[in-house]
Amino acid sequence: MDVNVKTEFLAKNAREAAEREDLIIVIDALRCCSTIVTALANGAKAIIPVKTLREAYKIRAMNSDYLLAGERGGVKPRGFDLGNSPLEYTRERVRGKTIVLTTTSGTTALALSKDSKHVFIGSFLNAKAVAEKAFEIASAEHMDISIVQSGTKGKFSLEDFICAGAIISRMPQKHIEMSDSALASLLAFKHAETDLCATVMKSSHSRKLIELGFKKDIEFSCRLDLFQITPIYREGKIVKGT
Ligand code: MLT
């Protein structure tokens, strides 16, 4: 039986995907999910995603060995150990650590997905790994897949749309049934693939990140299939998966 693959454009739509009991892949290519994937690939023990700064400070107050990480307006909030730049999450910095992470849109999409049985974290960096694992589980458990794009501050974002297409492109094409929006993502990715980073850099969020001095984060986040991991969000924590 074919697996239905759908996409959602905004973080808030994660709730509907969870209510449909779909397997969810949360994407925030710039930069939350790229940061999560990089941290776990570099040996972080777990990531605890939270929506608000208040929750993040509270969890850290109870666990002094946790790293406090994330952004508001793209920059590291006061008192935080790490920002939201994947390049900060080196092996030396994160190995063996639990990280409390709060970002503007990405951790909101995660929080709204939490009731789904299977929630994976996707990015360009692990597109193939997450596509294959999601397809395998959805196929075995007769579930649909919803790829939830976090968007940018409640609005559609180009990089997440193209990233959804990258993930779909790595699923067995003969065995999936795409919604119109999923197919549009795939077509956009195919169009952008040969010059992926240049296309992603045209998005409004990229332009903002470049202004803030984070151009290297965009270049890094566009590296397709760099990591073979499938981070999974379960019981409030994201761990590496296989
Ligand atoms: C978000 O979650 O809104 C983003 O990761 C923002 C950012 O690029 O820092």
Average pLDDT by stretches of 10, the chain with 242 residues: 94 93 96 98 97 96 97 95 98 98 93 93 98 97 96 94 98 97 98 97 97 98 97 96 76
Helices 204-211 and 158-169, packing angle to 10 deg: 120
Q: What is the dihedral of CA 140, 142, 161, 224, to 10 degrees?
A: 0
Ligand 1, pocket-test mutation among 10, 32, 52, 121, most atoms within 8 A of CB: 32
Phi, psi of 79 (to 5 degrees): 80, 0
Amino acid (one-letter) located at 140: A
In the block, residue with structure tokens 């649909």: 144
Counting from 1 in the atom list of ligand 1, the atom nearest the Cα of 106 is: 2
Amino acid (one-letter) located at 220: F
Calpha distance 231→162 (Å, rounded)? 20
What is the pLDDT at residue 214?
97
Alpha helices in the chain (DSSP H): 14-19, 32-41, 53-62, 91-94, 106-113, 127-140, 158-169, 180-192, 196-200, 204-211, 215-221
Q: Ligand 1 centroid vs 103 CA: distance in angstroms? A: 5
Q: Ligand 1 centroid vs 212 CA: distance in angstroms? A: 12
What is the pLDDT at residue 183?
98
Q: Which residues contact residue 85 at a Cβ distance below 8 angstroms, ignoring those fewer than 6 apart?
A: 31, 35, 214, 217
H or E element at residue 149: strand 145-149
Query: Is 160's C-beta closer than 6 angstroms to any atom of ligand 1?
Result: no
Ligand 1, pocket-test mutation among 28, 101, 124, most atoms within 8 A of CB: 28
Counting from 1 in the atom list of ligand 1, the atom nearest the Cα of 108 is: 2
What is the pLDDT at residue 1?
78
Instruction: Tell which residue, 3, 4, 30, 20, has the closest CA to residue 150.
Output: 30
Ligand 1, pocket-test mutation among 27, 37, 50, 71, most atoms within 8 A of CB: 71
Calpha distance 65→236 (Å, rounded)? 18
Query: Is 104's C-beta closer than 6 angstroms to any atom of ligand 1?
Result: yes
What is the pLDDT at residue 241?
83
